[in-house]
Structure 1
């Protein structure tokens, strides 16, 4: 159901019980999906004459965690510019003052498909390896700005922690299902060691004592070899071009990414140079100019919700000035 209300600059549209108040340049709004961080709709931008995705952040000021997450997402999207990372095209709030401020909207490139749709598609080796190449290029660009995921095991972390996520994505594209389905972090950790085996003592000693005690008290698992976890029949048939891409190459790359100990896991550069990936490498894409380093000094400090709100509002206003937002 759609309901329209017009004021001077914004049109208000109700999509799946979520109110979208957007500049009138955006037309033909239609819901795309709802995630943990907000709802996304598609729209047609009458100014640039292109289809876009508009994300309304979900209640960004309900608590400190949501406010900090909204700040980080906006700051990061402003920072990075790479063909393999969804670009920020616009950002706005319909509220005219800090006192009224409550909604944050991010306008992004609209993708033809999402990962869930890709996973359900029958992929040949060319498409699978090229998709992984694009992911790796995007991650390498993020790393060049000092942007990496944080791990939950109480360890120090570095760039190759992200390779675990790439391995999980690759495994899901191959198997057509989640490799480590867990109901929570603890349950998921149990699934991981059941399949991959109990990690080494060297790895255990680098965990926080409380985490180490938990892991050490679990049942010991040998783990399954990768040719059993990912037999040939799970993979596409050989490449159409003289079998230059094969199941054994894909399985080898996967085995190097899905390593519990990040110290022994393949790096992004190592993965890009792997025989299953390297044929796609283009210098301008792999080593694109690095963005400005991400300064996490602000979001590492403690702030109240109202302080986060003011920081985000300032970022939005600065964006509007720098990009001459209509």
Structure 2
């Protein structure tokens, strides 16, 4: 690091459960504390001394160790920067302490800091009906905006959703997002993503649409209600068996849409009858004292919405627009604008298919960070907000 860089950056050493990670960040960020960590990166909370607010800083984990990790980093940066929506996490800053593409090894994103991720809410809180309804409504609003803007998230799970004390919700992590117009016949099995929220058409390597996000929301909603993972498969094939054990064997009309070898696998599985959603999510999981039949905030309406989201055949599955009109969440439509302007973004799926070396990915991402630096006060030295 040059002398000029040392004046702008400071290295902090973060420890958590015998793991260590160094964060080299602009000096505007102080009092860094570990918040979370996973396969894609470490996250700390910090004080932005320029804006006088708490923020989250994500350090991408080994962004250039493989081509797939470089792609994730690029996608997340381009899409986080583009989307401005009440239910999508806001990117506040992006930077790297390296000064050339050949040296680039660290990429950091600064984002809004939320109070909890949804996984913590599931473990620690039993939510009343109005809160349950509002959380699902906000998830649907975020997906409506993404889908209208031509993006499928593809990796919705509790850890990628954050919630504040006032029950406002935001989604994050766009490392697996894709344009809806992209060749959706591609496989997703190569990606290291949580399988428990994958839609059947993804597991069975069929074509998929934005309905994959609806399936994930249904799984998440059921998990919030029961505090248990609905389909806890141990591997790719066991995930399908877990779905069938509760949802029943798929109809012939769905099997007819599969490739020959996948259809053969599905037909060779023992036939299962679907369990009722009253059995899967019994009344005991609902806060009866907060039921409000006048506003359709009842266990029956909640179960009905989950059931419609978890139709095995995506052609039979409820759409985001239909879900927003479902009685269990439709009451929020009067208070919230769900038709915000479409987000234009520069994400280009051709980048996914073009052959690039790691060195070329470094150049591409370094140039994006330099472009960002030209239009944002990365270091807090210009006397204006980021």
> TM-score over 0.5 for the alignment?
yes
1:307 equivalenced with 2:365 (yes/no) = no
1:32-66 CA deviation, whole Å, 9 max, x = no partner? 01112101000010111111000000001001111
Find the counterpart in structure 1 of residue 127 from structure 2: 123
Find the counterpart in structure 1 of residue 112 from structure 2: 109
Deviates more, 1:195-204 or 1:142-151: 142-151
Structure 2 unaligned runs (5+)?
155-187, 189-201, 380-386
Match of 1:215 among 266, 280, 287: 266
Shift of 1:225: 1.1
1:174-199 CA deviation, whole Å, 9 max, x = no partner? 00111111222211111011110111
Find the counterpart in structure 2 of residue 285 from structure 1: 337
Task: Find the aligned partners of 1:163 and 1:31 in 2 and give their Cα distance.
Answer: 32
Task: Find the aligned partners of 2:133 and 2:343 in 1 and give their Cα distance.
Answer: 26
Shift of 1:140: 0.8
Contact 1:145 1:290 in 2 (8 A): yes
Task: Find the aligned partners of 2:234 and 2:110 in 1 and give their Cα distance.
Answer: 32
What's the TM-score once normalised by structure 2's chain length? 0.80
RMSD over aligned Cα atoms = 1.6
Give the number of aligned pairs: 321
Q: Secondary structure at the match of 1:298?
A: helix
Task: Find the aligned partners of 2:244 and 2:264 in 1 and give their Cα distance.
Answer: 15
Find the counterpart in structure 1 of residue 96 from structure 2: 93
Deviates more, 1:75-84 or 1:201-210: 201-210
1:250-302 CA deviation, whole Å, 9 max, x = no partner? 00001000111111100001110000001111576311111015432222323
What's the TM-score once normalised by structure 1's chain length? 0.94
Aligned pairs for 1:45-124 (under 5 A) are 45-120=48-123, 121-124=125-128
Q: Secondary structure at the match of 2:32?
A: strand
1:185 equivalenced with 2:236 (yes/no) = yes
Distance change (3 Å), C-alpha of 1:251 and 1:85 = same
Task: Find the aligned partners of 1:314 and 1:206 in 2 and give their Cα distance.
Answer: 43
Aligned pairs for 1:21-40 (under 5 A) are 21-40=24-43
Shift of 1:243: 5.1
1:142 equivalenced with 2:195 (yes/no) = no
1:275 equivalenced with 2:327 (yes/no) = yes
Q: Secondary structure at the match of 2:352?
A: coil
Distance change (3 Å), C-alpha of 1:138 and 1:206 = same
Task: Find the aligned partners of 1:259 and 1:179 in 2 and give their Cα distance.
Answer: 14
Contact 1:133 1:277 in 2 (8 A): yes
Task: Find the aligned partners of 2:286 and 2:42 in 1 and give their Cα distance.
Answer: 34
Aligned pairs for 1:184-203 (under 5 A) are 184-203=235-254
Find the counterpart in structure 1 of residue 279 from structure 2: 228
Contact 2:310 2:317 in 1 (8 A): yes
Task: Find the aligned partners of 1:243 and 1:236 in 2 and give their Cα distance.
Answer: 16
1:7 equivalenced with 2:6 (yes/no) = yes
Contact 2:102 2:363 in 1 (8 A): no
Distance change (3 Å), C-alpha of 1:59 and 1:282 = farther
Deviates more, 1:291-300 or 1:261-270: 291-300
Structure 1: 4+ residue segments shifted above 6 A: none
Aligned pairs for 1:236-255 (under 5 A) are 236-239=287-290, 241=292, 244=295, 245-255=297-307
1:296 equivalenced with 2:299 (yes/no) = no
1:203-248 CA deviation, whole Å, 9 max, x = no partner? 1122233322222211111120111111111112153656531000
Contact 1:238 1:247 in 2 (8 A): no
Deviates more, 1:34-43 or 1:155-164: 155-164
Task: Find the aligned partners of 1:122 and 1:163 in 2 and give their Cα distance.
Answer: 23
Task: Find the aligned partners of 1:54 and 1:270 in 2 and give their Cα distance.
Answer: 36
Contact 1:67 1:305 in 2 (8 A): yes
